[in-house]
Amino acid sequence: MRLFIDITPLIWYIYIIINLKELQIIRLILRSAFRAVCRAEAIINMNYSELADVLYPSVQYTPEQLEEMYPPRKLPEGAGVTRFAPSPTGYVHFGGLYQAVVDERIAHRSGGVFYLRIEDTDQKREIADGIKTIVTALDKVGVHFDEGADMNGGHGDYGPYVQSQRKEIYKTYAKKLVSEGKAYPCFCSADELTAIRAQQESEKADPGYYGKWAVWRDAPIEKIQQKLDAGVPFVLRFRCDDGASPKHKFKFNDQIKGEVEITENDRDHIIMKSDGTPPYAFAHAIDDHLMRTTHVVRGEEWLPSLPFHIQLFKALGFKLPKYCHTALVLKLENGNKVKLSKRRHPEAALDYYISGGFPNAALRDYILTLLNSNFEEWRAANPVADADEFPFSTKKMPVSGSLFDSDKLSDICKTTVSRMSAKAVYDSVCAWAEEYNAPFAALLKKNEQYALSILSIGRGGKKPRKDFGQWSEVKNYVSFFYDGLFCIEDSIPDDFAASDVSGVLKTFADAYDPADDQNAWFEKIKQTAQDFGFCPDMKEYKLSPESYKGSVADVSMFIRVAVTGRLSSPDLYAVMQILGAERVRSRLLSYAVR
């Protein structure tokens, strides 16, 4: 399709004429040669334009019209526009949530826009209700968008936000590239491509479609027309700058990794598949431009594809967005750091956190600890501040892998819950239980005030209790307060005589009075201890433990196990106040006669 002109005779003419110093003739010959080149270029342009019309005869828009339909956003100077763009091919990965938080912080800390785009061009891998799964999961973990795809199709002025609904837009730019000689159709069959790969292997050449292997790169339009007339399917390939090796390296500034050295692309990649849909690279370039995306946040595994993306933006005449390549999320496995995998690690899926009832605020705090090394220090100094107040920065993000730590996540969850009010905990637990444990939700709602009194134990103060960190753990925590859930989980050690245990429980049952304050209540426990040969004073007991059957702590343990069924529980006085005198006495006496 390119026109080549043999200029050797022209050079000889110029040489002879220069020697003859015929300047007038020189001007005439050069002018004639220039006109010949211009005519050749016109022929080339005409052929490219004709080819574009043949390949895409019914394109609805022009690039100029699309620019008017998607104008630059009216935002404050420096405002970021970011997108989270998952594919509806399965559940949302924790790594996706990790990136979404980066997107959201870049946009909202700068007064910009954070939107959701669904990249569903790979429809062979798409699952049923894939979009609903994504939107629902993100909403449940507290990721909310200013605009974009949603359950109603989408909201915002830069849609559609689902790529399968933007095919006409992609065709517009595909036609543009063909008309400019920057893209061409390739009719290679699967067998022909396999043969090319086999030949490359035999020659020990790099695999790919480039150089002499790009057999349709400069095919004449007549040959292309024959294939089209025969109905042979084609893919559209991008004509890269040189189309041949050797590759060159160049520097690029990544917003997270800083200056990186990358190798330029020399492959004629596919930009439109035979079914008329674009692969990720072409679609993302067009969508990010028209939706006016300023920052592209994605995993570092995409870094090798960046040179091709840079070429695409340049060829399309688009301004390149800022790229932010995040480090992988890793996990320790048998002493080695491995990538968090959806096949091996349940915590890789967002559903793990949703079904487990991880508080959104805690999950967000944990991700921020992975993203910025100074977040933990900030949180310690601002324990109750909204995480949005943290001065998040891509410059403080890790350039190598972030290590997933389940223990740290659990601790952050417990700390977060301990700072919540009883009502906030109650509402959150009920909302979670309505979907994942309806009978438990009904039990809590049957007597809200009773449930609130349970959840209020040890809450507030400088050192609040940290009994649970997930809503799925609450049922077990409160179970002994409900007769239908109560059971004896722990046993009193066999070191103590059964007669002493029984006597202590019966005696305290008779003495128990819910009207007693905590001091009076404990005095009765001490008196019971003394009556059965247990030391009522811990200091005294430590001086001479052999003189007693045990201490007042042991007697308290007898009562705790009988009343709660556990060796460990929240404040026993508060527990008994909530349970009520009748239930307390009943449990003491029931255990006494076991």
Instruction: Please give the full DSSP string across 126-153, using - where no structure is assigned.
Output: PPTTHHHHHHHHHHHTT---SEE--TTS
Same domain, 51 and 116: no
Asked if the structure places residue 486 within a domain, the reply is no
Same domain, 84 and 208: yes
Asked if the structure places residue 493 within a domain, the reply is no
Asked if the structure places residue 488 within a domain, the reply is no
Pair 553, 538: CB distance under 8 Å: yes
Neighbouring CB atoms inside 10 A of 301's CB total 12
Alpha-carbon dihedral 547, 552, 553, 555, rounded to 10 degrees = 100
From residue 449, alpha-carbon distances to 206, 411, 416, 422, 550 in Å are 71, 28, 23, 10, 39
Same domain, 543 and 403: no
* Beta-bridge partners for 270: 237
122: region left, alpha or beta (phi > 0 left; psi from -120 to 50 alpha) = beta
Cα separation, 98 vs 554, in Å, equals 48
Residue at 258: amino acid letter: G
| Spatial CB neighbours of 61, under 8 Å, sequence gap ≥ 6 | 69, 168, 169, 172
Cα separation, 312 vs 319, in Å, equals 10
- In order along its 594 residues, the chain shows pLDDT tens digits of 433 344 444 444 444 444 444 444 444 344 444 433 433 343 344 489 999 999 999 999 999 999 999 999 999 999 999 999 998 877 788 999 999 999 999 999 999 999 999 998 877 766 667 788 888 889 999 999 999 998 787 899 999 999 999 999 999 999 999 999 999 999 999 999 999 999 999 999 999 999 999 999 999 988 999 999 999 999 999 998 755 555 688 999 999 999 999 999 999 999 999 999 999 999 999 999 999 999 999 999 999 999 999 999 999 999 999 999 999 999 998 889 999 988 889 999 999 999 999 999 999 999 999 999 999 999 999 999 999 999 999 999 999 888 999 999 999 999 999 999 999 999 999 999 999 999 999 999 999 999 999 999 999 888 899 999 999 999 999 999 999 999 999 999 999 999 999 999 999 999 999 999 999 999 999 999 999 999 999 999 999 999 999 999 999 999 999 999 999 999 999 999 999 999 999 999 999 998
Pair 256, 326: CB distance under 8 Å: yes
pLDDT at position 583 is: 97
pLDDT at position 130 is: 78
CA-wise closest residue to 295 among 521, 24, 486, 84: 84
The structural domain count of the chain equals 5
The answer to whether the bond into 246 is cis (omega within 30° of 0) is yes
Cα separation, 17 vs 26, in Å, equals 7
Asked if the structure places residue 490 within a domain, the reply is no
pLDDT at position 44 is: 44
Cα separation, 283 vs 121, in Å, equals 9
pLDDT at position 334 is: 87
Would you call 567 helix, strand, or coil by DSSP?
Answer: coil
Same domain, 385 and 274: no
Same domain, 176 and 317: yes
CA angle 331, 335, 341 (to 5 degrees): 30
Same domain, 289 and 388: no
pLDDT at position 423 is: 97
Break the chain down into helix, strand, coil percent, rounded to 5: 50, 10, 35
Same domain, 395 and 460: no
Domain boundary among 290, 324, 358: 324
pLDDT at position 413 is: 98
Q: What is the pTM of this model?
A: 0.85
Same domain, 459 and 432: yes
Asked if the structure places residue 294 within a domain, the reply is yes
Cα separation, 586 vs 594, in Å, equals 13
pLDDT at position 132 is: 85
Q: In this structure, what are the phi and psi dihedrals at residue 218, rounded to the nearest 5 degrees?
A: -120, 30
pLDDT at position 510 is: 97
- Burial of 536-546, coded b for 16+ CB within 10 Å and e otherwise, reads beeeebeeeee
Asked if the structure places residue 492 within a domain, the reply is no
Half-sphere exposure of 232 (CA within 13 A, CB side): 17
Domain boundary among 36, 55, 74: 55
Residue at 445: amino acid letter: K
From residue 402, alpha-carbon distances to 337, 369, 380 in Å are 10, 10, 21
Pair 101, 371: CB distance under 8 Å: yes
Same domain, 335 and 402: yes
pLDDT at position 466 is: 94
Same domain, 34 and 107: no
The residue written with tokens 């690279």 in the block is 281
Same domain, 106 and 207: yes
Domain boundary among 324, 349, 373: 324
pLDDT at position 135 is: 87
What CATH code is carried by the domain that includes residue 208? 3.40.50.620
Residue at 277: amino acid letter: T
Asked if the structure places residue 1 within a domain, the reply is no
Same domain, 48 and 124: no
Burial of 426 (0-12, 13-18, 19+ CB in 10 A): buried
* Residue 465: domain span: 422-472
Cα separation, 408 vs 563, in Å, equals 33
Neighbouring CB atoms inside 10 A of 119's CB total 18
Asked if the structure places residue 485 within a domain, the reply is no
